[in-house]
Amino acid sequence: MEEVIVTYLKTLKIPVSPSGCRKLIRSHPEYPSLLSISDTLQRLGIPHQTARLSIQKVKEVAFPYLLQPDKGGALRLVRGESDLNRAASSVDEISEWVILQAETTDNIIDQRARKAYKQFQLTTGYQVVFLISVVGLLAVGWGQVFSWYYSLLLVTALAGAIIGYILFSKEVGVNYEAVEAFCGKSPKSNCDRILKSEDAQLPGGLTLSDVVAGYFTFQLMMLGLLVPFAEVSASWLLALSALSILALPAVLFSLYVQAVKIKVWCRLCLLVDGILVAQAALFAAMYSGGVLLWNSISIPVVVASGLLLFAAGSSLYLLKQYMEQAAASEQAELTAKRVKYRPEVFLQLLHQSKKVDDTLLRDELIIGNRQAPVTVLMVASLGCGPCREGFERGVELVKAYPDLVKLAVRFKPDTPTNGNGVKDHSDPETPWSATMQYWLQYIAGKDKETQLTESLISDWYSMMNLDEFLKRYEVNNNSSRNNIKELERVYALWFEENGEISKTPTFFINGYELPKNYRFEEVMILLPSLIVESKQFEDGNNWSCRQDVVL
């Protein structure tokens, strides 16, 4: 299911990391439901709509979109008329379909998702560099010893290496739509059935995929790097020809297993068989044409060829083991997160946490809609580095769910004292007094209060320097001196009545402290699960959603 989503977002050109998107969906407590997709899109800030429509109404919706039978079934990406017709004809007697349509956007709310996409772009760039480098090396070698024999050998080795990569990828769980379509899954053609059979499991824990990938990678290294630049290139080719002859019995065994034993054809295996036969024919032609002579053989070259073959094969095997272990660890982590993110689990732990009075103060720094049903109270310090990141996460949460969440930021007063120990309010000498006094004078009660408040706090955390801050946010000390005294008293009283808060930032959700084994960024994952969503569709053209908070 998540692969369909990744393809859909790629079709819309939405900047999301494929691996990051998969993890978000698979860690959702309702995976693999359509709700896990909708919540993930909302967390990322991707506008989308869902509806239940008849097939006639579906035909009126602009492509592309995701489609699923109302009573469950495979999720389908519908790019055009042909995809829609296939979806409609594949399921009989379906009166209604669930449709999800997203809008193209470049504004991804989740900062971690933005970083993941930048990393994805960087990785993709290095992959391109790697491919260009390999092709360049092969081209340089090809130019050194150009001949039709060598060219055909190089092409077959390259084709074999590509097929080996595909087989290797299938075994570690990476599938490609075009490859799956080519392989097919029918009574007469099914690659997976052959590749997962006992006959594809070889001694030493090796599989057919390991051998194919290792063998053709070895060929590509030899033909691309050694043969063109070695003084005894004929010896390397002789070693390759000997291995080619030894591979012919494997071709016969492969055909026997497919045609007689299992009676199902593997198209990828047939391609490998064809390449091996073609290479054997090429070496035979080279012998008959006098290009290769047995007296050119070199024992050191034969030994080096064998070592290179084992090195290529064993390195790929070790890489596969590492990838499989990483995949197993990731799967275990995602399974654990699905339990951790269950709303009943989180709510039970939340209600066992410390409870404070989260009633909003009259002069409260609020990000978002004051009427939003969920209050996230952030107790922070203006001199705290981690508070900056916590504030950014809180703002992201509000932007993802603007009608549901408001962020209240409560800084502990730090008013200085004079020589007699009396608190001195004569001028804004501290970050707290400077920030709150400016907010009272120029932001509180004004238009765009929430945006200005966000900018004020963000700028402080960007500077973390009182003199620099006062140059930008100059205050009139006399105009709100009494107000700042009263505000300090109210804030100090709240901190006194609600007990010691030992660390900043500390987050409270509707008055309950966030459980210690949860990070605040996980609230963005948890919040949709804490909302009961029921979608009512009066007719096929109406899109509506009712949401009730269960916190």
pLDDT in tens, 19-49: 999 998 998 888 888 888 988 998 888 999 9
Residue 522 belongs to some domain of the structure: no
Question: What is the rounded CA–CA span in Å between residue 538 and residue 459?
Answer: 47
Task: Give yes or no: residues 168 and 96 share one domain.
Answer: no
The answer to whether the pTM exceeds 0.85 is no
- Is residue 401 packed enough to be buried (19+ CB in 10 Å), middle (13-18) or exposed (0-12)? buried
pLDDT at 367: 94
Residue 539 belongs to some domain of the structure: no
**Does position 465 have pLDDT exceeding 60, yes or no?**
yes
The DSSP-derived string for 258-286 is IIIIS--B-HHHHHHHHHHHHHHHHHHHH
Confidence of residue 422 (pLDDT cuts 50, 70, 90): very low
Contact 411/382 with Cβ under 8 angstroms?
yes
Residues 6+ apart with CB under 8 A from 441: 475, 476, 479, 480
**Does position 160 have pLDDT exceeding 80, yes or no?**
yes
Residue 535 belongs to some domain of the structure: no
Decide which of 63, 86, 111 is a domain's last residue.
111
Query: Where residue 387 sits, what CATH number does that domain have?
Result: 3.40.30.10
**Does position 547 have pLDDT exceeding 50, yes or no?**
no
Contact 418/424 with Cβ under 8 angstroms?
yes
Asked if residue 32 has a cis previous peptide bond (ω within 30° of 0), the answer is yes
Confidence of residue 486 (pLDDT cuts 50, 70, 90): confident
Confidence of residue 248 (pLDDT cuts 50, 70, 90): very high
Task: Give yes or no: residues 220 and 261 share one domain.
Answer: yes
Decide which of 65, 96, 111 is a domain's last residue.
111
Mean pLDDT in residue range 526-534? 56
Please give the single-letter amino acid code of residue 284. A
**Does position 518 have pLDDT exceeding 60, yes or no?**
yes
pLDDT at 479: 58
**Does position 246 have pLDDT exceeding 60, yes or no?**
yes
Task: Give yes or no: residues 202 and 328 share one domain.
Answer: yes
Return the percentage of the chain with pLDDT > 90, whole number.
Answer: 31
pLDDT at 541: 35
* Mean of all residue pLDDT scores within the chain: 84
Task: Give yes or no: residues 95 and 181 share one domain.
Answer: no
Q: Which domain holds residue 29?
A: 2-111
Report the DSSP pairing between strands 374-380 and 405-411: parallel
pLDDT at 91: 63
Mean pLDDT in residue range 284-300? 82
Residue 122 belongs to some domain of the structure: no
Q: Where are the alpha helices (DSSP H) in 172-298?
A: 177-183, 191-195, 208-221, 233-256, 267-288
Task: Give yes or no: residues 51 and 170 share one domain.
Answer: no
pLDDT 10s digits, 137-151:
888 888 777 788 888
Question: What is the rounded CA–CA span in Å between residue 232 and residue 299?
Answer: 12
Mean pLDDT in residue range 339-351? 87
**Does position 111 have pLDDT exceeding 80, yes or no?**
yes
Residue 50 belongs to some domain of the structure: yes
**Does position 341 have pLDDT exceeding 50, yes or no?**
yes
**Does position 135 have pLDDT exceeding 50, yes or no?**
yes
Task: Give yes or no: residues 64 and 158 share one domain.
Answer: no
Q: Which two tokens stand for residue 239?
A: 């070693």
Return the percentage of the chain with pLDDT > 70, whole number.
Answer: 91
Mean pLDDT in residue range 146-169? 89
Using CA atoms, how far residue 303 sits from 236, 280, 480, in Å, is 10, 21, 88
Which H/E stretch holds residue 347?
helix 343-351
pLDDT at 182: 86
pLDDT at 157: 92
Task: Give yes or no: residues 256 and 156 share one domain.
Answer: yes
Task: Give yes or no: residues 365 and 312 share one domain.
Answer: no
In 3-state terms the chain splits into helix, strand, coil percentages (rounded to 5) of 60, 10, 30
**Does position 545 have pLDDT exceeding 50, yes or no?**
no
CA angle 197, 203, 208 (to 5 degrees): 45
Decide which of 299, 333, 367 is a domain's last residue.
333
Mean pLDDT in residue range 230-253? 86
Contact 407/396 with Cβ under 8 angstroms?
no
pLDDT at 537: 28
Question: What is the rounded CA–CA span in Å between residue 37 and residue 317?
Answer: 35
pLDDT at 384: 86
Query: Where residue 245 sits, what CATH number does that domain have?
Result: 1.20.1440
Task: Give yes or no: residues 287 and 150 share one domain.
Answer: yes
pLDDT at 170: 85
Confidence of residue 546 (pLDDT cuts 50, 70, 90): very low
Residue 124 belongs to some domain of the structure: no
Confidence of residue 460 (pLDDT cuts 50, 70, 90): very high
Query: Where residue 21 sits, what CATH number does that domain have?
Result: 3.90.70.10
Our count of domains for the chain comes to: 3
Task: Give yes or no: residues 292 and 210 share one domain.
Answer: yes
Please give the single-letter amino acid code of residue 12. L
Task: Specify the residue for token string 């967390």.
Answer: 43
**Does position 544 have pLDDT exceeding 70, yes or no?**
no
Q: How many residues does the chain have?
A: 551
Lowest mean pLDDT segment, chosen from 49-53, 160-164, 481-485, 533-537: 533-537
Counting runs of H as helices and runs of E as strands, what totals does the chain give? 20, 11
pLDDT at 231: 67
Task: Give yes or no: residues 273 and 231 share one domain.
Answer: yes
Residue 408 belongs to some domain of the structure: yes
Residue 531 belongs to some domain of the structure: no
Confidence of residue 458 (pLDDT cuts 50, 70, 90): very high
Task: Give yes or no: residues 290 and 393 share one domain.
Answer: no
Confidence of residue 522 (pLDDT cuts 50, 70, 90): confident
